[in-house]
Amino acid sequence: MKGNDRKRTFLLITIPILALFFVFNTLPLIKGFIYSFTNFKGYGSYDWVGLRNYIDLFQDVRVGKSYLFTFKFAIVATIIVNIFSLILALGLNSKIRAKSALRGIYFIPNVLGGLVVGYIFSFIFTYILPAVGKALGIDFLSSSMLADTKSAWFAIVIVAAWQAIAMNTIIYISGLQTVPEDVYEAGAIDGATGWTKFKNLTFPLIVPFFTINMVLCMKNFLMAFDQIMALTKGGPAQSTESISFLIYKNGMDGGQFGFQSANAVIFFVVIVAISVFQLTFMNKKEEQL
């Protein structure tokens, strides 16, 4: 009886969580998929249009530009974040003073909200950097990076990377702490130091953590929204309009709820496909190492 009571208790605890997950996650997903086959504007009545929204998606220039920007942004930001995160993790994992305090300091950006960080950097890019650029005679910094179609996207990369490095660094530190000291001692006997030590000993043993960071980074940056909302709102001239921002802007405010629901379905498939490809590719590399 005690065993049955215990199972019943666990079931009663699980049911409310499953109900909440279904109501706030699964049900909206199903409704969004249904709306993708309609001309629903977000209000009023609507008609079924079949696959027309999906066909129009591949003919929409604005959607194509948003995908190109999103992929460019995600790839560059992922590379920058993982390079700097790994370097920081190696430094914070070495024998230095106040390691715990420094780790806490480096994690602060991750605690702050994306919109908060975005508005702070918007002020920096709009007022502080141009003032510094004019004072020092640096033409590149004399005007706001956010106002230039060629540099606005990289300004967003800087903000997104600054905030994302914190979590990735912690994950890399966790990986570095799993490497046995015996491995380094054996490598030292063979004369492995510096880059050789990292390439042949450290990195092969933390590849699983590298895989986790790459997949999470790419997924998060593909879904970039907060930084774009705070910094550029898709401008200038729609040059920094990510897919997530386009779905929100035109779906909620532009009367394209059905059309952008179709866009969201395609984007969901794209993210899943990229994540699966990354995991498959990285798992093969892990087996080779």
- The separation between CA 80 and the C-alpha centre of its own chain, rounded to angstroms, equals 12
Domain residue ranges of the chain, discontinuous segments joined by +: 65-117+147-288
Section 112-134 average pLDDT: 90
Confidence of residue 3 (pLDDT cuts 50, 70, 90): low
d(CA 242, CA 152): 13
Range ranked top by mean pLDDT from 56-70, 87-101, 132-146: 56-70
According to the model, what pLDDT value does residue 75 have? 96
Dihedral sign for Cα 223, 226, 229, 232, please: negative
Amino acid code (one letter) for 86? L
Secondary-structure class of domain 65-117+147-288 per CATH: mainly alpha
- Give 61 or 182, the one with higher predicted confidence: 61
12-54 tens-digit pLDDT: 888 888 999 999 989 989 999 999 999 998 888 889 998 999 9
d(CA 222, CA 71): 7
Is residue 171 within a helix (H) or strand (E), and if so which, with residue range? helix 152-176
Tell whether the model's pLDDT for residue 114 goes beyond 60: yes
Q: What percent of the chain has pLDDT over 70?
A: 98
Section 157-185 average pLDDT: 89
According to the model, what pLDDT value does residue 108 have? 83
According to the model, what pLDDT value does residue 262 have? 95
Range ranked top by mean pLDDT from 92-101, 180-189, 275-284: 275-284
Section 107-126 average pLDDT: 87
According to the model, what pLDDT value does residue 2 have? 59
Question: Which residues, in sequence order, are bridge partners of residue 141?
Answer: none
Burial of residue 123, with CB atoms counted within 10 A of its CB: 0-12 exposed, 13-18 middle, 19 or more buried = exposed
Tell whether the model's pLDDT for residue 182 goes beyond 50: yes
d(CA 195, CA 150): 36
Burial pattern 43-69, b for ≥16 Cβ within 10 A else e, equals eeeeeebeeebbeebeeeeebeebbeb
- Give 75 or 235, the one with higher predicted confidence: 75
According to the model, what pLDDT value does residue 254 have? 80
Average pLDDT in the chain: 88
243-287 tens-digit pLDDT: 999 999 998 888 899 999 999 999 999 999 999 999 888 888 777
d(CA 205, CA 285): 12
Tell whether the model's pLDDT for residue 209 goes beyond 70: yes
Which of 95, 111, 96 shows the shortest CA–CA distance to 170?
Answer: 111
Tell whether the model's pLDDT for residue 179 goes beyond 90: no
Write the DSSP symbol of residue 253.
I
Dihedral sign for Cα 89, 95, 96, 101, please: positive
